[in-house]
Structure 1
Amino acid sequence: MSVLTRVRTAFLSLLGIALIVLTVAILGTSKFNTPSEFELVQLDSGWTISRGSEYHYIESLVNSYTGLANRGDNIVIRTNLPDLTSYTDVPIGICFRSILSTVDVYVDSALVYSFGHDYVEKGKMVPKIYNFVPLPKNSSGKTLLIRFTAQENNAFSGFSPVYLGTYNDISNQLLEPKRLSVVVGIFLMMFGFILLIISPFMLLSSSKDTSILFSATTSLAMGIYIFCFNDLFWIVSDNPSLYTFLEYFSLFMIPPSIIGFVLFNGKDRNKKIVTYGFMGSLLFVLTVTMMHVFNIAHICNFVVLFHVTVIIQGVYMVITLSMSLRKRLIEKSEFRGVTLSTVFLVTGLLLFMICAQVDIVFFNLLKYSAEGEQSATINFTTVGSLLFMICLFLNYFYHRIEYLSESNVKEKLEGIAYTDALTGIANRARCELTLAKLDGNYTIISLDLDYLKYTNDNFGHAEGDHLLKGFAAILKESFTEALLIGRMGGDEFIVVLPYIDEDRCERAIKCMVDLMCYRTSKEEHIRYSASWGYATNKELTFKAGATAQDVYLLADTKMYSMKNQHHNQSLGRLYDDLLKNFSQKGGSSNEA
């Protein structure tokens, strides 16, 4: 593509990305929110918190911080329920989020809800979950007590909002701010699933494209992680244990998927380092997964190690890819040599890695600060994931165009290198290459064109070239099933048939003879005639290590037997033509 075409295409692609991002941003606004059917209350003030011997009153629940809750820590929060008379005719409840902890809810010392104790008894990880707790009737003004018992080290910090209202209103309140995550998550999962279906066909194709498999796993991992982190799977199913595991597993799968794509797409020059990074990331995922499955250590305990590792990997990838792109742009002016697929891939990777690392930093700052991780979001990662997958799609799209263009150029160059310039059939190099690769049953025909030297000497090389081109055309018309039709040099030709069948071979030769007779009748000076001999690979089964070259030599020997017979006919034609020329000259002299 020309420079102008590249720039125009890049501009249109970036414009498309901008429109998609703008559309998603609009969907994320509050304009599409559904009004609450009943009053929805956030119970944020009037709480007291006790942890061990500490007991204090707080002004805002979501802004409170009691430090990291480790395994076995009990944190109790209390408040008095407001007047609930406006909800007389509808069932109401409270909703709050818990992380890796058991939960017990009491209303005036009566246990009304409990979660997670069955997981603890089995030694399994207590999942993250939104707890929907129905309240008993006549709960107005009564004391609400919620006890969190952490079941992992660094289980959680801070508290989520506690909502009071109907199930539908609370569900809408939780989902509507996450509309962006829903749209992007569904898009990424569907896109990854489609790529996963296509990947076997691409792996089995001539291009053997492995990178599409990593594109599929990257998109799926990103989409699943966005859904799990935002607790969106509870909409369709009630299996918090699976979704909590998938949150960590999909998060851990993103780095090896991206590194694998870069590695198998050949976009990083330090292939050895990238290979080590890919193998290390994949081994990390497999190890922590097996430890979790066999209850050796829960997968949630490896997040800190993952964050440290991924930040190092991300910084390395950002620096090396930026330097690689910059070097290419400096070395090759005006985009020459820098393909659009490379530009889109590097741009997408940079955007995603920067966005992801921003969220990682903010997550850890919130977890170890006054606000707590309950208020952490992955909005940057969500947008970065969308941009990355769009860039990845554009990368693959332009990569296929560039691959097809390169294939066409390669095919044309190979055609020039392996085609006889005069006749348009295979040249000697192509013939020898084909003979070296022959396998199975085959028949080789060696042909020698008669009268070439005679035609050149008496009628000029232009007529000789005409004879060669005409004979090549006869061969192509006669041997339509041939694996190879080529010119070995001078007046020597070869035909390779991909079968052993003497009758079919003889019919093709008869067709050639008939065409030579017909074309000869249409010519003034040229006579089409040839000597031939054919041999099959089965004729040399007695000879150990026999090759196609040996079969060709056998066919050549048989051809020379016929050539000796044609030799006398050639001398007779020479005598006839000399007499004809002499008589024409003599007649001219007498007339003069």
Structure 2
Amino acid sequence: MRKFSFKNICIPIFAILLLLAMVIPFFYFSGASKSYTTNSCITLDDHWDVDINDTHYSNVTLSDFTFPMTQKGDIIVLSRKLNEAFSGRNPIIKFNSVHVKVDAYLNGHPVYTYGGNEFFHGKLVGYGTQYISLPSSYNSKPFKLILSVTEDDAFNGIEPPELGNGETLLQESISDNRFLLATALFLIVFGLIVAAVTAVLSFRNLVFSRLFCISLFSFLIGCWTLCNNNLIIFFASDLRVKAYLEYISLYAMPLPLLCYFYPEAHHKVRPKYITVIYQCLIVAQTAFFLFALITQLTNVIHLPVHLKVAQLLMFLELIFILALTIDDIRNHRKYDRALQVGVIATLLVVMVELIRYNVEKYIIHFHDSHYSSSVCYSALIIIVALLLDYSSKISHGLYKQAQQQLLENMAFSDELTGLHNRRKCDEIIEKLTAQCDDFILVSMDLNLLKYYNDTYGHEKGDELLRCFAGVLKEAFPNALSCARMGGDEFTVILPAMHETKRNAALLHLYKLMDEQNKKDPSLKLSTALGYVTRSEFGREVDIRMLYQEADERMYQNKKEMKEKQPELFRR
């Protein structure tokens, strides 16, 4: 596993958060100074005649008008005279439709149609805001809307159309929804940037996969918010795109959230049934998403038909995550506190939204275009909570990694020189021997250590040891190990190499010692050495045999040095 810095991970993430957070106040305040008069648009609420199949209603006020839930094949006709005088140019009627084919007539002449081809072929029509252009001479002429319902349980009320200028209506919509729009864009852009980065990093280190789940969840809930609140109209006018994106985002949204909680669900302290339930939810959600997508693409079952099943699965998954959170609280897992608060807050908001949606749709006056969800705000809470939880886990993991590294250093390093100790050297030789790898074992004995300890004190002797250790590391940069075995004894393990290259490496050591002696005459570096190769022995070889042979050759070299440089050993 590659080492990485907690600081290097968190700083870019929170820099992105800070940068994107500037978008929210920008959108919020950019529309605050823009004011619109109450006459900028006219709500066409009264004096409608409504025909639902064979039932006629006269002089209807649409905001107070409800009827049984529409089913596929129902025909609704709305008609009235446009007696309202609009002073602006380019008059437009803004109308919100829900899974219907729309035909508009002015004075008996068609002025607008939508969804005819999809209706004829039985495809998903979509829903959202439609803008019906009128001629400037519309005043006092009869206007008729014919709505052909394409899905079951579509709506049980009709939002009053608005008459106004197209540009003004769009500007008003942006101004009224600027904070919601900014929040959705923040979630999308944040999700895209972080997902792009972590998707690559996850191949190197799986710890980034959890951050990828957070970013994917952020992107999906941002897309759903744009579509659910009819804000996608600012970027794409095709209502089918809106419908596809909204339902696919909604149905896929639980998957990254469930994947994020994989470690928690599989924690060894959890009861076995928790893991089983988690696996069932993952399989069910994945199968449901694929089934909904395939049946839509093959035009067998449209995406809106699966909404009740999606809500049921989502409710079960939220209950499951809540159970994990309660279990964490009960077991006092304090490092999960931020996530616990975020999950509980978001869970409450989502549950309230699910209840509100179904109550408004099936019990009281409800029209899908009226439903504006605030889930995206709670998504900000849980995304921040997930990021804090992720940072906490990374910090905790790095702390444990640092502890492990410290313990390893203490167990396998020589405190004075920073080189490996005998235990680590033995471990490396045993591993190489077990793998039948060839290598060179160099045994060294540092001369004059006793002289420096006795004459100048152990501080000077320690300085001599550290100086020699530095020269060893510089002389053998590709060594498998440079170790201090104890006292004045050192060992170097080199990979197998040709005799010429090996001799050059040893001569390089002597050259570096000479350079160091000239640089600091107060320290005299000198060593006797002997080496042995693993291949000199047969298959049956152990550590003792290698050490013994290398030491014998080292002592032989020391004997030769005493004969050639007797004055060196008289100190």
Task: Give the TM-score taking structure 2 as reference length.
Answer: 0.81
- Contact 1:347–1:391 (CA under 8 A) maintained in structure 2: yes
Indicate yes or no: 2:303 matched with 1:299.
yes
- The letter for the 1-side match of 2:218 is S
Distance 1:161 1:550, change over 3 A: farther
- Contact 1:358–1:380 (CA under 8 A) maintained in structure 2: no
- Contact 2:107–2:141 (CA under 8 A) maintained in structure 1: yes
Distance 1:520 1:237, change over 3 A: closer
Distance 1:210 1:499, change over 3 A: farther
- The letter for the 2-side match of 1:496 is I
String of CA shifts for 1:276-301, please: whole Å, max 9, x gaps: 32332222212211111111211111
Q: 1:576 and 1:399 mapped to 2: Cα distance?
A: 58
User: In structure 2, what is the equivalent of residue 411 of structure 1?
Assistant: 405
- Contact 2:339–2:385 (CA under 8 A) maintained in structure 1: yes
CA RMSD of aligned residues (A): 4.2
- Contact 1:455–1:464 (CA under 8 A) maintained in structure 2: no
Distance 1:135 1:529, change over 3 A: closer
User: In structure 2, what is the equivalent of residue 373 of structure 1?
Assistant: 367
Q: 1:553 and 1:121 mapped to 2: Cα distance?
A: 89
Equivalent position SS for 2:332: helix
Q: 2:87 and 2:176 mapped to 1: Cα distance?
A: 26
User: In structure 2, what is the equivalent of residue 71 of structure 1?
Assistant: 72
User: In structure 2, what is the equivalent of residue 10 of structure 1?
Assistant: none
- Contact 1:160–1:374 (CA under 8 A) maintained in structure 2: no
Indicate yes or no: 2:286 matched with 1:282.
yes
Moved more, 443-452 or 44-53: 443-452
String of CA shifts for 1:365-398, please: whole Å, max 9, x gaps: 1111331133643443021112222333334444
Using the TM superposition, give the Cα deviation of residue 76 of structure 1 relative to its aligned residue in structure 2, in angstroms: 1.9
Distance 1:408 1:525, change over 3 A: closer
Equivalent position SS for 2:160: coil
User: In structure 2, what is the equivalent of residue 483 of structure 1?
Assistant: 480
Equivalent position SS for 1:158: coil
Identical columns (%) = 21
Using the TM superposition, give the Cα deviation of residue 418 of structure 1 relative to its aligned residue in structure 2, in angstroms: 1.4
- Contact 1:533–1:555 (CA under 8 A) maintained in structure 2: no
Moved more, 180-189 or 126-135: 126-135
User: In structure 2, what is the equivalent of residue 167 of structure 1?
Assistant: 166
Using the TM superposition, give the Cα deviation of residue 192 of structure 1 relative to its aligned residue in structure 2, in angstroms: 0.4
- Contact 2:346–2:379 (CA under 8 A) maintained in structure 1: yes
Distance 1:570 1:283, change over 3 A: farther
Distance 1:229 1:531, change over 3 A: same
User: In structure 1, what is the equivalent of residue 129 of structure 2?
Assistant: 130
String of CA shifts for 1:572-591, please: whole Å, max 9, x gaps: 999998xx89xxxxxxxxxx
Equivalent position SS for 2:230: coil
Distance 1:84 1:553, change over 3 A: farther
Distance 1:375 1:134, change over 3 A: closer
Indicate yes or no: 2:309 matched with 1:311.
no
Distance 1:202 1:403, change over 3 A: farther
Distance 1:58 1:561, change over 3 A: same
Matches within 5 A, 1:19-30: 27=28
- Contact 2:562–2:568 (CA under 8 A) maintained in structure 1: no
Moved more, 298-307 or 468-477: 468-477
- The letter for the 2-side match of 1:345 is L
Distance 1:530 1:519, change over 3 A: farther
- Contact 1:84–1:139 (CA under 8 A) maintained in structure 2: no
- The letter for the 2-side match of 1:219 is S
Matches within 5 A, 1:220-259: 220-259=219-258
String of CA shifts for 1:478-500, please: whole Å, max 9, x gaps: 32443321135676533233573
Q: 1:30 and 1:215 mapped to 2: Cα distance?
A: 30
For structure 2, list consecutive stretches of 5 or more residues without a partner in the other structure: 1-13
Distance 1:257 1:463, change over 3 A: closer
Matches within 5 A, 1:75-154: 75-84=76-85, 86-87=87-88, 90-154=89-153
Q: 2:544 and 2:286 mapped to 1: Cα distance?
A: 53
Q: 1:525 and 1:254 mapped to 2: Cα distance?
A: 69
- Contact 1:263–1:275 (CA under 8 A) maintained in structure 2: no
Q: 2:291 and 2:527 mapped to 1: Cα distance?
A: 75
Indicate yes or no: 2:420 matched with 1:426.
yes
String of CA shifts for 1:402-454, please: whole Å, max 9, x gaps: 44444333322221121123543112332244446669997423204277998
Distance 1:84 1:568, change over 3 A: closer
Using the TM superposition, give the Cα deviation of residue 202 of structure 1 relative to its aligned residue in structure 2, in angstroms: 2.5
- Contact 1:67–1:368 (CA under 8 A) maintained in structure 2: no
Using the TM superposition, give the Cα deviation of residue 137 of structure 1 relative to its aligned residue in structure 2, in angstroms: 4.4
Equivalent position SS for 1:144: strand
Q: 1:180 and 1:519 mapped to 2: Cα distance?
A: 69
Q: 2:199 and 2:499 mapped to 1: Cα distance?
A: 42
String of CA shifts for 1:108-137, please: whole Å, max 9, x gaps: 333322211201223321111322112244
User: In structure 2, what is the equivalent of residue 588 of structure 1?
Assistant: none
Q: 1:267 and 1:218 mapped to 2: Cα distance?
A: 21
String of CA shifts for 1:40-87, please: whole Å, max 9, x gaps: 100011123222232223653133211211111112222221143745
- Contact 1:516–1:529 (CA under 8 A) maintained in structure 2: no
Task: Give the TM-score taking structure 1 as reference length.
Answer: 0.79
Q: 2:190 and 2:23 mapped to 1: Cα distance?
A: 19
User: In structure 1, what is the equivalent of residue 509 of structure 2?
Assistant: 512
Equivalent position SS for 1:65: coil
User: In structure 2, what is the equivalent of residue 359 of structure 1?
Assistant: 353
Moved more, 109-118 or 261-270: 261-270
Q: How many residues align?
A: 545
- The letter for the 2-side match of 1:531 is L
User: Given the alignment, which residue of 322, 325, 328 partners 1:321?
Assistant: 325
Using the TM superposition, give the Cα deviation of residue 34 of structure 1 relative to its aligned residue in structure 2, in angstroms: 3.8
- Contact 2:86–2:164 (CA under 8 A) maintained in structure 1: no
Q: 2:557 and 2:410 mapped to 1: Cα distance?
A: 37
Q: 1:311 and 1:383 mapped to 2: Cα distance?
A: 19
For structure 1, list consecutive stretches of 5 or more residues without a partner in the other structure: 1-12, 330-337, 582-592
- The letter for the 1-side match of 2:314 is V
User: Given the alignment, which residue of 357, 360, 376 partners 1:382?
Assistant: 376
Moved more, 278-287 or 553-562: 553-562
Indicate yes or no: 2:439 matched with 1:447.
no
- Contact 2:50–2:60 (CA under 8 A) maintained in structure 1: no
Moved more, 429-438 or 130-139: 429-438
- The letter for the 2-side match of 1:478 is A
- The letter for the 1-side match of 2:424 is R
Q: 1:457 and 1:27 mapped to 2: Cα distance?
A: 75
Q: 1:534 and 1:256 mapped to 2: Cα distance?
A: 59
Equivalent position SS for 2:363: coil
Equivalent position SS for 1:244: helix
User: In structure 2, what is the equivalent of residue 51 of structure 1?
Assistant: 52
- The letter for the 1-side match of 2:552 is Y
- Contact 2:31–2:178 (CA under 8 A) maintained in structure 1: no
Distance 1:448 1:233, change over 3 A: same
- Contact 1:81–1:144 (CA under 8 A) maintained in structure 2: yes
